[in-house]
């Protein structure tokens, strides 16, 4: 059985099959770069990243395109407020977004910027006008006449039969039940960024941007289009209307929407004080791997309630996996193999695959790997794990990590980067003692730690437990976790 995905267009689960064999062309709506990305944004971007990684693991070549919305109503307003150009304003947030995405383990898609495709967008509007689908108003704006696209509403399942022909809306985001002709192109207003084009001076609407850039990069029909659930209407409905009325062909085959994230049971909002950017959490001392793990712990179409308790549990889960891997890699095992352990790795890989095939059920995939760790730890503790058993288990861990990307112990350098940014951006007061402590733990070089560990071993061999404890105390104070087992002493950074 292969991958099955829920398709918002058909409202049911469907067998995933790309239009061209073994090659997936997908487009995800990217960020509007007017502020730092919040954890809701990253829930959606990580859901798309999981999809991309799983398609690759399943043997598809993936062409994944994402737009950067670097001109829109909010950006223009904020840039004017700060007295800078649109480009100066967005450059800072685009850079921050790319850093954050890398920090949280998102593989970078092909990026396309709205402001670099203005000419193509104007030409697209000109073609729609020629077909009688777009019309110009007296001020030089252009609107899409939705009466010309009878299927309008097919994605959001809204019934717009009673709509008033010619009623218009000129903002990018509007009420959920509004069937109105929407702005394709906005005429210039004094002080706003605008471009000279074949249809006159102005700037593109947000919806137009995604239609033009996705088809340019992926063709008139492609496999999958993704975003958060808030984009179903009007954004994606409008993209479909623009694209299909121009080409007469189906636009995207699969529509993939991630459910909105809640924080402590509520919709995230600045006024409720439960609004967190990724950087806010890192400044509080939370590791990117814990955040990524938590954001994937509930399947993308289910409600995920972000809590700080959940985040702490996620950190423990990641730690458990990393410890298990280091036990496997550094332990010494008796020769031979254990049938149960031989089967366990393979079984776990199959269970993870079955879970992800089922509309990317990440929770089940995580449950499968934890079941493996639980059983293998029992075997390890009782000396039942043999030298030939390790590779199968490591292979299951690696398959897991190709998708979840949390096993590499590289949180501290990423967090240090956020600390540097906070200093440069005048946010020192937001840096928590937890983050400072954690970063201090990363300062002792490995070689020095190894030396202290061998001193501990020597002290213990000489039954000088006081000395061993005092070295351990030093290491703990420097943020190094030391674990003493029957035959060995292992260490890890916090």
Bridge partners of residue 13, in order along the sequence: 6
Smallest distance, ligand AMP to C-beta of residue 231, A:
5
Q: Indicate the residue among 172 and 357 with the shorter CB distance to ligand AMP.
A: 172
**DSSP states of 5-22:** EEETTTTEEEE---SBTT
What CA–CA distance (Å, rounded) separates 17 from 3?
Answer: 8
Asked if 282 and 418 touch (Cβ cutoff 8 Å), the reply is: yes
Q: Check binding of 210 to Zn ion (CB under 5 A).
A: yes
With CA atoms as reference, report the closest residue to 142 among 118, 165, 168: 168
**Nearest distance from residue 260's CB to ligand AMP, in Å?**
4
Residue 387: count other Cβ atoms within 10 Å of its Cβ.
Answer: 13
Count Cβ atoms below 10 Å from residue 259 Cβ, excluding itself.
17
Nearer to ligand AMP, 227 or 392 (CB): 227
Give the binding site for ligand AMP (CB under 6 A): 29, 31-32, 40-41, 43-44, 227-228, 230-231, 258, 260-261, 268
- Shortest separation between residue 304's beta carbon and ligand AMP, angstroms: 8
The residue from 24, 26, 28, 29 that contacts Zn ion (CB under 5 A) is 29
Count the site residues for Zn ion by CB under 5 A.
Answer: 2
Q: Decide which of ligand AMP, Zn ion, none touches 260; Cβ closer than 5 to 8 Å per partner kind.
A: ligand AMP
Q: Of ligand AMP, Zn ion, none, which one sits near residue 41, judging by CB under 5 to 8 A according to partner kind?
A: ligand AMP
- Binding site partner of 210, from ligand AMP, Zn ion, none, Cβ cut-off 5-8 A by kind: Zn ion
If DSSP codes are grouped into helix, strand and coil, which group holds residue 430?
Answer: helix
Q: Which is nearer to ligand AMP, 66 or 403 (CB)?
A: 66
40 touches, from ligand AMP, Zn ion, none (C-beta below 5 to 8 Å by class): ligand AMP
Toward ligand AMP, which CB reaches closer, 66 or 321? Answer: 66
| Residue among 40 and 345 whose Cβ is closer to ligand AMP | 40
Asked, as a colleague might, if the bond just before 273 is cis with ω within 30 of 0, I would say no
Q: Which residues, in sequence order, are CB contacts of 244 under 8 Å at separation 6+?
A: 149, 151, 250, 251
Residue 368 burial by CB count (10 A; 0-12/13-18/19+): exposed, middle or buried?
Answer: buried
From the list 120-128, 204-212, 386-394, 442-450, the region that binds Zn ion by CB under 5 A is 204-212
> Looking at beta carbons only, is 187 or 214 nearer to Zn ion?
214
Q: How far is the CB of 43 from ligand AMP (least distance, A)?
A: 5
CB 68, min distance to ligand AMP, A? 10
Q: How many CB atoms lie within 10 A of CB 50?
A: 24
Residues 6 or more apart in contact with residue 241 via CB below 8 angstroms: 144, 146, 149, 151, 152
The smaller minimum CB distance to ligand AMP, of residues 50 and 438, is found at: 50
Q: Which residues bind Zn ion (CB under 5 A)?
A: 29, 210
């Amino acid at each position: 059985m292969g991958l099955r995905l829920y398709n918002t267009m058909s409202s049911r689960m469907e067998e995933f099959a790309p239009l061209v064999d073994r090659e997936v062309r997908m487009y995800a709506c990217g960020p509007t770069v007017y502020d730092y990305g919040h954890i809701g944004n990253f829930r959606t971007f990580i859901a798309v990243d999981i999809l991309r990684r799983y398609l690759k693991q399943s043997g598809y070549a993936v062409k994944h395109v994402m737009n950067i919305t670097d001109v829109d109503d909010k950006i223009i307003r904020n840039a004017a407020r700060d007295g800078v150009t649109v480009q100066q304003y967005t450059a800072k947030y685009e850079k921050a977004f790319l850093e954050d995405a890398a920090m949280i383990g998102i593989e970078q898609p092909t990026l396309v910027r709205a402001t670099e495709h203005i000419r193509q967008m104007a030409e697209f509007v000109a073609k729609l006008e020629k077909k009688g689908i777009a019309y110009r108003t007296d001020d030089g704006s252009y609107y899409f006449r939705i009466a010309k696209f009878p299927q309008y509403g097919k994605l959001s399942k809204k019934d717009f039969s009673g709509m008033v022909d010619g009623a218009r809306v000129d903002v990018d985001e509007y009420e959920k039940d509004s069937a109105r002709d929407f702005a394709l192109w906005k005429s210039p207003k004094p002080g706003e960024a605008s471009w000279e084009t074949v249809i006159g001076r102005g700037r593109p609407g947000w919806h137009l941007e995604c239609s033009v850039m996705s088809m340019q990069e992926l063709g008139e029909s492609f496999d999958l289009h993704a975003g958060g659930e808030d984009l179903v209407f009007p954004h994606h409905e409008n993209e479909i209307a623009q694209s299909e009325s121009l080409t007469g062909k189906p636009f995207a085959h699969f529509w993939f929407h991630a459910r909105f994230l809640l924080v402590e049971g509520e919709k995230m909002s600045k006024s409720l004080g439960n609004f967190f950017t990724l950087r806010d959490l890192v400044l509080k001392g939370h590791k990117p791997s814990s955040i990524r793990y938590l954001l994937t712990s509930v399947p993308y179409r289910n409600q995920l309630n972000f809590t700080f308790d959940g985040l702490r549990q996620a950190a423990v889960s990641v730690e458990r996996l990393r410890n298990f891997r280091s036990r496997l890699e550094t332990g010494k095992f008796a020769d031979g193999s254990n049938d149960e352990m031989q089967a366990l790795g393979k079984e776990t890989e199959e269970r993870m695959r079955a879970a992800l095939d089922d509309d990317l059920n990440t929770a089940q995939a995580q449950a499968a790997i934890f079941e493996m760790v639980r059983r293998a730890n029992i075997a390890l503790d009782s000396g039942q794990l043999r030298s030939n058993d390790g590779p199968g288990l490591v292979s299951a861990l690696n398959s897991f990590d190709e998708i979840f990307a949390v096993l590499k112990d590289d949180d501290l350098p990423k967090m240090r980067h956020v600390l540097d940014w906070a200093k440069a951006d005048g946010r020192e007061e937001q840096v928590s003692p937890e983050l400072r402590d954690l970063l201090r733990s990363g300062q002792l070089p490995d070689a020095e730690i190894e030396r202290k560990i061998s001193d501990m071993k020597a002290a213990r061999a000489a039954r000088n437990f006081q000395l061993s404890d005092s070295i351990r105390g030093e290491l703990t104070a420097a943020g190094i976790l030391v674990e003493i087992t029957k035959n060995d002493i292992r260490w890890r950074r916090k």
